[in-house]
Every structure is written in structure tokens, then in C-alpha cells.
Amino acid sequence: MDNELQAEKKSVPFNRTHQAIEAERMLRRIKDDFSDNPDAMDYFYDLYEQVYCKGESLHKEEKVVGTMCVQVPEELIYAAGGVPVRLCNGFYTDDQVGAEFMPAKSCSLVKATLGMLDKGSTLPFVDKVENIILPATCDQKRKAGAMISEMGYEVYDMEVPPVKESEEARLYWRRSVHNFAVSLKKITGKKITKANLKDALAKVAAAQKAYRTLHVLRKESPSIFLGKDAFMVTNAYFFDKIENWTAAVNRLNAELEQRKEKKITAAQRRAPRILFTGSPAIFPNLKLPVLIEESGGVIVADETCSSNRMLYDMVAVDEYNTENMVASIADNYLKPCTCPIFTRNDDRKRKLLNMAKDFAVDGVVYQSFSGCQVYQMEHSSIAKALQAEGIPMLFVESDYSPDDMGQLSTRIEAFIESLKAKRRRKR
């Protein structure tokens, strides 16, 4: 980065940067285009405003450890006294900056993350991040590691097996996680012990418990909670203080519980129920979820790494000694992971089919970022599996640019209409 540009960046207050304006715009849309948002959502709206619009730091006194994928065991980072902050980024502004690092047809998420890290000084919540944990997942993330190193960050390459079914993979990954646990001492300066790991497990379990409760509340029909808010909630888990996040989700759950009793619904009784899968919806790139719900659909569940895949599966431990805890944590981050980087996707198919049944889903929307080959390659197999069960699916290839909004809204509206028509025919 040339000095001139850097000087200019420093002189612009954060709330007037392109990012802040982009964030502001999406936040307004999420808040104001929908009536009757739950009061407990204010915590999250304010959090986004504070972090993304005002650029305030959340973890001033903490050792922030950046993570690049859902496979990084956060319990270990908490145990070592760090705060894991997921760096996967959703800003179009950063996507444009990041374009210089990657080939033209690359994933927006990776480009945006690179762009965000490159600018360094205007980073809102991660102003002090020095260490970044990068699991070797997809090709683009893998190759991003060296570039991030060059920007001056300490990158820890975490090895992930490409096959997850075999015993070899389990052992390989367990070793990889074990090595990571040991290496964390160098990053945070604190050793992982039985006591602090146990506390970390409890902390994450409490968050997951809150998430699960919310997850179950979304089974209600007619829906009492909108998917755009659900994405805001889970996305906040990327960077929020975990205790605050858990408390806020518990408040939200309590309010939704009341709304359920009072029969206050968030969507119409006949609103098609959508299951969202594929590339993650990360603020402020929530255009697809928002479009779905503006068109009269309601997202009742998702299978993405910014939400369900990150929070759903909980760790059980038989004997609370360090070695067992680390092994159990390791298994939990690999075996149930439905990331498309692995060779097989039977687990993902099974999970989607089960969710579709559980949440009485009318249709599936499959988002794939242009340039995300792995999600594109899984498209046909997922489509087939859903088709066999008679579940309609819309495959949407999109990126962070706002250019395709018009085209997208036409397609989404048509899909929602077709689901409504199908419902009518059924009756």
C-alpha cells in the first residue's frame, strides 16, 4: 500500500468510509424495511452500528485471534485466553480492494477478506489482530495464507484432511488440532490447562444452547422469527463478546417465546418456508436473504458456515482431562462438518433432507458465490437429492456486487410465487 493512500485513509473518520456507508445502508434495510422486529434484536442492530458504522473496537484489552474458517476450534482459543474473531468478510468495498490479489473469477468472500486485511488501519473490530489461523480448506483460502503473511500478519496454517470419513483423517485432524492447542501458547502466552479448557467448553456450550433454542423456535408455523434477523444474530457471533452474545440470544428467545404464546407471527401463514444453503450470508452481503423475505418468503433454517454449521454441533466429553477434551473437540469440528471442500457430501445431503422435513420447508435456496467452485460442483448432487424428495430448489450464483439485484429479485419472486402456487395446488 502506498503511503499517500494510507495517509488519506487515516484522515477519513471511519463513519465516512465506503464500508461504513455500505454497512449503514444494509442495516437500515434490515431494520426499517420490516415492521415489528423483536425488541431484543435492538442489541444486535446496535452492535452492528457500533462496530461497522462507527468503527468502534469491541476487544480493546483482549488478545484477538483471527480465524478464517469454521473449522478452527474456538474453545481452544478461549482456553488459551484469546478471543476468536472470524474474519470472513461480507463487504463489497473490500471485495473490490481484494480483487488485486486474486484471479478475476474468484470468491467474493476470500477477496473481501483479503481486502479488509490489506487496509489494516480502517479495520473496525480487528484493529489489533496480529495472528490469523487459517485452516487449509478450499484452494482460495489456502492460497490466501501466503498473501496475508506478506501483509505482515502471523499466519498459522492449520492442516485439514481432504477426506473426513476415514480413520486416517480422524487421527490426522486430531494431531493437527493437538498441535494447534500447543502452538496457541506462543500466540496468546497462556497455556491450555484442564481448568481453563473446561471453562471454555462451558462458555461455548452455553452459546450453543442459546442458539439451539432459537433454532427450535424457528420450527414454529407460521414463523415467529425472520431469517434476516437470524443471520444477523449468528453473524454477530463472529466478533461479539461471547457472554454478551449468549445473554442477548437468551433475551431474544424469551421474547420469541412470549410472541409464540401471543401468536404474534413474523410472516404470513402461507409464506413459503425456505431453507437457505450454500455460500454463507455475511453482513452486509445479506442481499439474498433480504430479497427472499421482501418477496414474501421466510427463511426458517439454514445450512451455512456463517450460521448453523458454526453453532449447531455440540461437544460431549466423557472424562474432563485435557487430552480427551481436545480429542472430542477435534472430532466435533471435523466429522459433522458439511463444508463442500471434502470429497463426499452425503452428510450435507442428509442434513438438508432432515432439516427440510423438520422445518416443514417448501423450497430450498442454494447460494453459490461466483468463483466458489466447490459449492458450484455440489449443485447438481444436492439438486438431485432434493428433487427425489419433491423439494424445489433455486440455485443462485451471485457475488458481492449490487449489479445483479434486479435480476435476482425477479428470480426470487418467481421462485416464491411458484412455491405459493404449489401450496395452493396441494390444498
- Contact status, residue 288 vs residue 342, Cβ threshold 8 Å: no
CB closer to other proteins out of 335 and 411: 335
CB of 345 to other proteins, least distance (A): 13
CB closer to other proteins out of 331 and 417: 331
Site string for other proteins, 19-48 (x = CB under 8 A): ------------------------------
**Among 165, 255, 404, 413, contact with other proteins (rule: CB under 8 A):** 165
- Contact status, residue 126 vs residue 85, Cβ threshold 8 Å: yes
- Please return the burial class of 330, using the count of CB atoms within 10 Å of its CB with bins 0-12, 13-18 and 19+: buried
CB closer to other proteins out of 92 and 225: 225
Residue 99 as a binder of other proteins (CB under 8 A): the answer is: no
Site string for other proteins, 170-199 (x = CB under 8 A): ------------------------x---x-
CA–CA separation, 358 vs 302, rounded Å?
A: 12
- Contact status, residue 87 vs residue 117, Cβ threshold 8 Å: yes
Q: Helix, strand or coil for residue 25?
A: helix
Q: How is residue 274 written as a grid cell? A: 425456505
- Contact status, residue 316 vs residue 124, Cβ threshold 8 Å: no
Residue 319 as a binder of other proteins (CB under 8 A): the answer is: yes
CA–CA separation, 87 vs 246, rounded Å?
A: 20
- Other Cβ atoms closer than 10 A to 38: 20
CB closer to other proteins out of 99 and 206: 206
CA–CA separation, 49 vs 76, rounded Å?
A: 29
Please work out the total of residues on this chain that contact other proteins, with binding judged by CB under 8 A. 33
Residue 324 as a binder of other proteins (CB under 8 A): the answer is: yes
**C-alpha 333, offset from chain centre:** 15
**Among 147, 205, 242, 383, contact with other proteins (rule: CB under 8 A):** 205
The torsion angles phi and psi of 367, rounded to 5 degrees, stand at -95, 130
CB closer to other proteins out of 120 and 336: 336
**Among 241, 317, 392, 420, contact with other proteins (rule: CB under 8 A):** 317
**Among 12, 216, 360, 405, contact with other proteins (rule: CB under 8 A):** 216
Part of the chain binding other proteins (CB under 8 A), chosen from 45-53, 115-123, 150-158, 311-319: 311-319
Q: Are strands 363-369 and 298-303 parallel, antiparallel or unpaired?
A: unpaired
What contacts 149, CB < 8 A, 6 or more positions away? 155
Residue found by looking up cell 411458484 in the block = 418
One-letter amino acid at 254 equals: A
Part of the chain binding other proteins (CB under 8 A), chosen from 7-15, 19-27, 327-335, 397-405: 327-335
Site string for other proteins, 334-353 (x = CB under 8 A): -xx----------x--xx-x
Residue 202 as a binder of other proteins (CB under 8 A): the answer is: yes
Applying CB under 8 A, which residues contact other proteins?
A: 165, 167, 194, 198, 201-202, 205, 209, 212, 216, 312-321, 323-324, 327-328, 331-332, 335-336, 347, 350-351, 353-354
